[in-house]
Amino acid sequence: MKLIRCGEVPSKPAPKEHFTGTVWQDPINSAEAPGRAVAVSVTFLPGGRTNWHYHPYGQTLHVLSGAGWFQTEGEARVDIRAGDTVWIPSGEKHWHGATDATMMTHLAMQEREGDATSTWLEPVTDDQYLGKA
Protein backbone atom coordinates (compact mmCIF):
# COMPACT_ATOMS: atom_id res chain seq x y z
CA MET A 1 0.00 0.00 0.00
CA LYS A 2 1.17 3.49 -0.77
CA LEU A 3 -0.48 6.61 0.64
CA ILE A 4 0.16 9.93 -1.09
CA ARG A 5 -1.01 12.85 1.02
CA CYS A 6 -2.48 16.01 -0.42
CA GLY A 7 0.32 18.46 -1.18
CA GLU A 8 3.10 15.85 -1.31
CA VAL A 9 3.23 15.96 -5.11
CA PRO A 10 3.50 19.50 -6.51
CA SER A 11 1.33 20.81 -9.32
CA LYS A 12 3.22 21.28 -12.57
CA PRO A 13 2.57 23.17 -15.80
CA ALA A 14 1.50 20.94 -18.66
CA PRO A 15 4.14 20.53 -21.38
CA LYS A 16 3.84 23.36 -23.95
CA GLU A 17 4.58 20.93 -26.79
CA HIS A 18 1.30 19.07 -26.07
CA PHE A 19 -1.01 21.88 -24.87
CA THR A 20 -2.17 25.34 -25.91
CA GLY A 21 -2.78 28.03 -23.28
CA THR A 22 -2.39 27.73 -19.53
CA VAL A 23 -2.84 24.19 -18.25
CA TRP A 24 -1.81 22.70 -14.90
CA GLN A 25 -1.44 19.04 -13.95
CA ASP A 26 -1.72 17.39 -10.55
CA PRO A 27 -0.42 13.81 -10.75
CA ILE A 28 -2.59 11.39 -8.78
CA ASN A 29 -1.13 7.97 -9.49
CA SER A 30 1.15 6.12 -11.85
CA ALA A 31 1.00 2.42 -11.03
CA GLU A 32 4.20 0.46 -10.64
CA ALA A 33 4.70 -2.47 -13.07
CA PRO A 34 3.00 -4.71 -13.81
CA GLY A 35 0.21 -2.14 -13.32
CA ARG A 36 -0.47 0.34 -16.12
CA ALA A 37 -3.03 2.72 -14.62
CA VAL A 38 -2.26 6.46 -14.66
CA ALA A 39 -4.49 9.21 -13.25
CA VAL A 40 -3.97 12.97 -13.32
CA SER A 41 -6.14 15.96 -12.47
CA VAL A 42 -5.82 18.57 -15.23
CA THR A 43 -6.93 22.21 -14.89
CA PHE A 44 -7.39 24.25 -18.06
CA LEU A 45 -7.71 28.04 -17.86
CA PRO A 46 -10.06 29.62 -20.45
CA GLY A 47 -8.70 28.83 -23.90
CA GLY A 48 -6.49 25.99 -22.59
CA ARG A 49 -6.62 22.71 -24.48
CA THR A 50 -4.72 19.60 -25.48
CA ASN A 51 -3.23 18.93 -28.89
CA TRP A 52 -4.92 16.26 -30.97
CA HIS A 53 -3.88 12.90 -29.54
CA TYR A 54 -4.91 9.28 -28.93
CA HIS A 55 -4.29 6.59 -26.31
CA PRO A 56 -3.14 2.97 -26.68
CA TYR A 57 -5.84 1.64 -24.31
CA GLY A 58 -8.39 4.45 -24.40
CA GLN A 59 -9.05 7.14 -21.81
CA THR A 60 -11.74 8.11 -19.32
CA LEU A 61 -12.29 11.80 -18.50
CA HIS A 62 -14.42 12.82 -15.52
CA VAL A 63 -15.13 16.55 -15.29
CA LEU A 64 -14.66 17.72 -11.70
CA SER A 65 -15.47 21.42 -12.12
CA GLY A 66 -16.24 24.05 -14.71
CA ALA A 67 -17.16 23.58 -18.35
CA GLY A 68 -15.18 22.56 -21.39
CA TRP A 69 -15.20 21.12 -24.88
CA PHE A 70 -14.35 17.70 -26.26
CA GLN A 71 -14.01 16.67 -29.89
CA THR A 72 -13.30 13.46 -31.76
CA GLU A 73 -11.81 13.93 -35.23
CA GLY A 74 -14.54 14.16 -37.87
CA GLU A 75 -17.31 14.78 -35.33
CA ALA A 76 -18.88 17.91 -33.85
CA ARG A 77 -17.40 19.52 -30.76
CA VAL A 78 -19.29 18.53 -27.58
CA ASP A 79 -19.94 20.60 -24.44
CA ILE A 80 -18.82 18.90 -21.22
CA ARG A 81 -19.36 20.11 -17.66
CA ALA A 82 -18.91 19.14 -14.02
CA GLY A 83 -20.23 15.64 -13.37
CA ASP A 84 -19.90 14.44 -16.98
CA THR A 85 -17.80 11.39 -17.87
CA VAL A 86 -16.36 10.77 -21.35
CA TRP A 87 -14.97 7.40 -22.51
CA ILE A 88 -12.58 7.61 -25.49
CA PRO A 89 -11.79 4.25 -27.15
CA SER A 90 -8.28 3.11 -28.00
CA GLY A 91 -6.79 4.92 -31.00
CA GLU A 92 -9.57 7.56 -31.26
CA LYS A 93 -8.03 10.91 -32.27
CA HIS A 94 -9.44 13.68 -30.05
CA TRP A 95 -8.79 16.83 -28.01
CA HIS A 96 -10.30 18.37 -24.87
CA GLY A 97 -10.02 21.55 -22.85
CA ALA A 98 -11.75 24.53 -21.26
CA THR A 99 -14.17 26.77 -23.12
CA ASP A 100 -12.98 30.18 -24.23
CA ALA A 101 -14.71 31.77 -21.20
CA THR A 102 -14.52 29.22 -18.35
CA MET A 103 -11.98 27.07 -16.55
CA MET A 104 -12.36 23.30 -16.45
CA THR A 105 -10.77 20.60 -14.32
CA HIS A 106 -11.04 16.94 -15.23
CA LEU A 107 -9.67 13.69 -13.93
CA ALA A 108 -7.91 11.87 -16.80
CA MET A 109 -7.47 8.11 -16.42
CA GLN A 110 -5.59 5.95 -18.90
CA GLU A 111 -3.13 3.06 -19.12
CA ARG A 112 0.54 3.14 -20.07
CA GLU A 113 2.08 1.16 -22.87
CA GLY A 114 5.77 1.14 -22.02
CA ASP A 115 6.44 4.70 -20.85
CA ALA A 116 3.66 6.33 -22.91
CA THR A 117 -0.01 6.95 -22.18
CA SER A 118 -0.62 9.14 -25.25
CA THR A 119 0.53 9.66 -28.80
CA TRP A 120 0.67 13.43 -29.26
CA LEU A 121 -0.16 15.01 -32.60
CA GLU A 122 -0.63 18.52 -34.04
CA PRO A 123 -2.09 21.47 -32.11
CA VAL A 124 -5.81 22.18 -32.35
CA THR A 125 -6.26 25.30 -34.51
CA ASP A 126 -8.25 28.25 -33.20
CA ASP A 127 -10.99 27.53 -35.79
CA GLN A 128 -11.20 23.88 -34.69
CA TYR A 129 -11.26 24.94 -31.05
CA LEU A 130 -14.03 27.49 -31.60
CA GLY A 131 -16.10 25.00 -33.61
CA LYS A 132 -15.66 26.85 -36.90
CA ALA A 133 -13.80 24.10 -38.76
pLDDT value at residue 133 = 76
Look over the chain and give the mean of its residue pLDDT values, rounded to a whole number: 96
Residue 8's pLDDT band (cuts 50, 70, 90): very high
- Portion of the chain with pLDDT greater than 90, in percent: 92
Task: Tell me what pLDDT residue 25 has.
Answer: 98
Kindly tell me the sign of the dihedral angle through the C-alpha atoms of 109, 45, 92, 17.
negative
Domain annotation for the chain: domains and CATH numbers? 35-129 (2.60.120.10)
Q: Is the per-residue pLDDT at 58 higher than 90? A: yes
pLDDT in tens, 76-102: 999 999 999 999 999 999 999 999 999
User: In sequence order, which residues have a C-beta less than 8 Å from that of residue 23 and are 6 or more positions away?
Assistant: 13, 14, 42, 43, 44, 45, 48, 49, 50, 97
Residue type for position 64? L
